[in-house]
Amino acid sequence: MSTFIQLMISGVAIGLIYALAALGVVVVYKSTKVLNLAPGGLLLICAYIAWTFLVRVNLPIPIALGLAVILAVIIGWVVERVALRPLIGQPILASIILTNMIWFFFRGTTFLFWGGNPRMFPSWLSGRPTINIYGIGIPEIMIWCIIVSILSITALVIYFKFTRSGLAMRVTAEDVVVAENLGINITRVYSYTWVICLLLFLITAFFVGSIQGISQDLDFIGVYGVIVALLGGLESFPGAIIAGLVIGIVQSLTGGYLAGVLGGGIAETTPFIVMFLVSFFRPYGFFGLERIERI
């Protein structure tokens, strides 16, 4: 029983991290209708940048992460400005091809500057391997994953619900022609969505890197992010969160119980299996966007 609870909690933690990556994809899709297939590359670059400040430059953690945030903001802004702005209004296929190229561009960049070698973040945890909660040992990192993702999601919700630029984003997401008509600065909305996306990717990259080290495997996490976003219906925040939890938990349980029987690769494969099953039964994901119809 305690194994089951441990696996569940790990699943929730990982699932929330996937959800953060997926939310990056969802935010961009909602506002710009660009399907961002680049999270793999963007996670890599975020992780290596954070690693550089933390290890190579050897700055204290808050300063290093602060600088990483600034660079992530700049990357988000530049990617939108240079690559995606010209694509607004083009067919979705154009954005699919382009974001794929962005993926490989950043993957290549990390090879170029960091040699593609696996790296580790310095350990920033308290050092206790597990924390006991009612007699069940939970790895400390999992608790941090859960706390930080919940805080990030809350911040995102507050931003969208209570700030003007968040409202501008929701307006643009719902009807870009009305946004234009009302004199909303749409190009600024597009910049902000990419900046938010990169910030979410940075958090994802930091936690995944802290769990399994930084390597080209981060590509996988990027693909999971896209899968989770698709499962969640691509335009739905709750959808992305629930889909992330489902994938995280299923992955954790299969890894825990079936890896011995089916081999270690099963945990990496389950997201795709879930994806196939769901797309078979619900092609629009768990949560297609609900449109209000009135006669």
Partner 1 sequence: MLVLNNIEVKYQNIILVLRGVTIEVPEGKIVSLLGANGAGKSTTLKAISGMLYPDEGKVTDGSIEYNGIRIDGLRTKAIVDMGIVQIMEGRRTLEQLTVQENLIAGAIGRNPTRGELKKDMDRVYSFFPGLKDAKNQTSGYLSGGEQQQLVVGRGLMSHPKLMLLDEASLGLAPLLVKEIYAIIERLNKEENISLLVVEQNAQAALNIADYGYVMENGRIVLDDTGLNLLANEDIKEFYMGLTQVGEKKSYKTIKHYKRRKRWLG
Binding interface with partner 1 (CB under 8 A): 89, 164, 167-168, 170-171, 174-185, 291-292, 294
Question: Residue 180 Cβ, how far from partner 1 at the closest point, in Å?
Answer: 5
Residue 182 beta carbon to partner 1: minimum distance, rounded to whole angstroms: 5
| Closer residue to partner 1 (CB): 61 or 174 | 174
Specify the residue, 185 or 212, whose C-beta has the smaller distance to partner 1.
185
Q: How far is the CB of 292 from partner 1 (least distance, A)?
A: 3
Q: Cβ 172 to partner 1, closest distance in Å? A: 10
Residue with tokens 């963007």: 42
Q: How far is the CB of 24 from partner 1 (least distance, A)?
A: 21
Query: Cα 128–134–136 angle (5° rounding)?
Result: 55
CB of 25 to partner 1, least distance (A): 20
User: Which of residues 78 and 178 has its CB atom nearest to partner 1 in the complex?
Assistant: 178
Q: Which is nearer to partner 1, 260 or 293 (CB)?
A: 293
Question: DSSP assignment of the chain, as one string?
Answer: -HHHHHHHHHHHHHHHHHHHHHHHHHHHHHHH------HHHHHHHHHHHHHIIIIIS---HHHHHHHHHHHHHHHHHHIIIIIIGGGTTS-HHHHHHHHHHHHHHHHHHHHHHHTT--B-PPP-S-S-SEEEETTEEEEHHHHHHHHHHHHHHHHHHHHHHHSHHHHHHHHHHH-HHHHHHTT--HHHHHHHHHHHHHHHHHHHHHHHHHHH-BSTTHHHHHHHHHHHHHHTTSS-HHHHHHHHHHHHHHHHHHHHHHHHHH-TTHHHHHHHHHHHHHHHH-TT-S-PPPPP---
Between 14 and 240, whose beta carbon lies closer to partner 1?
A: 240
Q: Do 107 and 221 touch, CB atoms closer than 8 A? A: no
Report, in Å, the least distance between residue 34 CB and partner 1.
17
**Residue 51 or residue 237: which is nearer to partner 1 going by CB?**
237
Closer to partner 1 by CB, 166 or 255: give it: 166
